[in-house]
Amino acid sequence: MVRGAYSFARVPIATVAAELQALAEREYEEVGQKDLARLNVDWDRYRELDAAGNLATFIVKRGHGNAGRIVGYSVFVVQTHIHYRDALVAANSAVYVAPEARAGRIVLKLLRYAEIGLEAQGVRKIYYHVKRERDFGPLLAHLGYEDAERMFAKVLGGEEG
């Protein structure tokens, strides 16, 4: 789907992993939790999930075709819910749009595009976790999401080697 200078697509993660790695590093520098020492994306695991039909990767490109450059992504793990085995759910694994592409409602359009794609796949519920430091909860609320839970985290053990 093309909107203005940006295009949106659902893609197999293997076809964009190198570009997503560069963006993931930018995301980590901007909003990543540095308490586990360093970013180390398990691209093999993402590819396995995708091959099994349990991953949905949505991208936004600036420009069109092969000349376009990925400026954002939203990646979901899709599976039946362990408490509701008849309900297909999508848990957002990562969402990021580069700062230079955030104007013009691009983030909103990416989230809506992903939602449409997930609904077409049969997903009944979408989950996002939101960092306190970069709270995009108001945008999610605008899209009809409810602030349903809070997530707590604690790092165990000593320093990583």
Mean pLDDT: which of 41-50, 97-106, 148-157 is highest? Answer: 41-50
* DSSP β-bridge partners for residue 111: none
Q: Which residue has the tokens 């590093």?
A: 25
- Torsion on CA atoms 103, 108, 113, 115, rounded to nearest 10: 160
What contacts 66, CB < 8 A, 6 or more positions away?
none
pLDDT score, position 161: 46
pLDDT score, position 88: 97
CA–CA gap between residue 102 and residue 108 (Å, rounded): 9
Could you tell me the sign of the dihedral formed by the alpha carbons of 84, 47, 23, 11, in that order?
negative
With contact defined as beta carbons under 8 Å apart, do 157 and 36 qualify? no
Q: How confident is the model at residue 34 (pLDDT cuts 50, 70, 90)?
A: low
- The residue-averaged pLDDT of 53-77 equals 91
DSSP assignment string, 83-109: S-TT-EEEEEEEEEE-GGG-GGGHHHH
Query: Average pLDDT over the chain, rounded to whole?
Result: 90
What contacts 45, CB < 8 A, 6 or more positions away?
none
pLDDT at position 140 over 90: yes
39: left (phi over 0), alpha (psi -120 to 50) or beta: beta
Q: Does residue 34 or residue 67 have the better pLDDT?
A: 67
pLDDT score, position 63: 81
Query: At CA 152, angle to CA 31 and CA 85, rounded to 5?
Result: 105
Ordered by where they begin, the domains of the chain are 2-142 (3.40.630.30)
